[in-house]
Amino acid sequence: MKSFSKINAPEIYAVPIQENGEPLVDLLIDCPDIFVDQTREYAQDVSKSISCVRRQVAERLKQAATQLPSGTRFKIVEGHRSLEAQRHIFAEVMDDVKKDHPSWNEQETYDETSTFVAPPDNTPPHSTGGAIDLTLIATDGIELDMGTNLNDGYSGTCYTFSESISEEAKKNRQILIQVMQDAGFVNYPAEWWHWSYGDRYWAYTMGASVAIYGSI
């Protein structure tokens, strides 16, 4: 598998942020044709803004949606995430890693957790309003085969270019990759569902001099 920079890598944190002041918009209002899942437990209990993203993210998402094959739609699971929610999720995943690897020391556990969840103390992507977690669904609302469920565990199969998934899942991931990249988004390679625009990871991947979104 091709190597990539982790979300908390020094080269990512080294990217300066030049906040452009762009507001959040609500996908439920601004993009009514795009389905937003509002059933996530912690979304109801912790974060109140998962359907919100930066304005340019919404515009680019609408652009990407027009390029999907007939009968296929986006399902947005999460956009903006408060820092409170980020702390909650990071702690939950870190507990899971500890259970799976009881012999690991604190640093090893932290590093593994940080592969999949951005530490909350340094402008995590979702807190900028520039990141979205999404999948593909048919018009009847049934999720397409993507190899894993979105946010369903953290194993090699959730890596975007995993070879340990079916040919159907590879095809569906490629559809997602194509339309999102064409709209200007970048993917975090450890999570096929995570895409962003304007944050540090986007800036680093695209070779931009600055990220245009900070925490909001």
> Quick check: 156 and 164 in contact, CB under 8 A?
yes
Q: Is residue 214 part of a domain?
A: no
Residue 215 lies in a domain: no
Average pLDDT estimate for 71-100: 91
d(CA 100, CA 77): 26
* Tens digits of residue pLDDT in 115-137: 888 888 889 999 999 999 999 99
* pTM given for the model: 0.90
What pLDDT score does 192 carry? Answer: 96
Position 142 in a domain: yes
Contact in structure between 124 and 213 (CB atoms under 8 Å): no
Where b means 16+ CB within 10 Å and e means fewer, 106-144 reads: eeebeebbbbbbbbbeebbbbbbbbbbbbbbbeeeeeeb
- Asked if residue 22 is part of any domain, the answer here is yes
What's the mean pLDDT in 49-69?
Answer: 96
Percentage above 70 pLDDT, the chain: 94
Q: How far apart, in whole angstroms, are the C-alpha atoms of residue 87 and residue 112?
A: 16
Residues 6+ apart with CB under 8 A from 80: 24, 47, 49, 50, 52, 53, 126, 127, 129, 216
At 112, list the tokens. Answer: 């593994």
Residue bearing tokens 């944190």: 13
Domain assignment present for residue 5? The answer is: no
| Residue 1 domain-assigned (yes or no) | no
Give 22's DSSP letter: P
Tell me the CATH number at 20.
3.30.1380.10
pLDDT at 44 over 80: no
Is position 212 within any domain? no
Query: What pLDDT shows up at residue 165?
Result: 96
Task: Note the pLDDT of residue 119.
Answer: 87
Q: Per residue in 140-197, pLDDT tens?
A: 999 999 999 987 766 789 999 999 999 999 999 999 999 999 999 999 999 999 999 9
Calpha distance 139→13 (Å, rounded)? 40
The H-or-E segment that residue 10 falls in is: helix 10-13
Task: Report pLDDT for 201.
Answer: 97
Hey, what long-range contacts does 5-11 have (CB within 8 A, 24 or more apart)? 5/201, 5/204, 6/114, 6/115, 6/190, 7/114, 7/115, 7/117, 7/118, 7/124, 7/125, 7/188, 7/190, 7/201, 8/114, 8/118, 8/119, 8/122, 11/204
Domain encompassing residue 76: 10-206
Give me the phi and psi of 187, to 5 degrees please. -100, 145
Give yes or no for residue 1 having a pLDDT over 60.
Answer: no
What is the number of domains present in the chain? Answer: 1
Residue 105 domain-assigned (yes or no): yes
Q: Is the pLDDT of residue 42 over 80?
A: no
Q: Are 63 and 24 in contact (CB under 8 A)?
A: no
Contact criterion met (CB below 8 Å) for 171 and 165: no
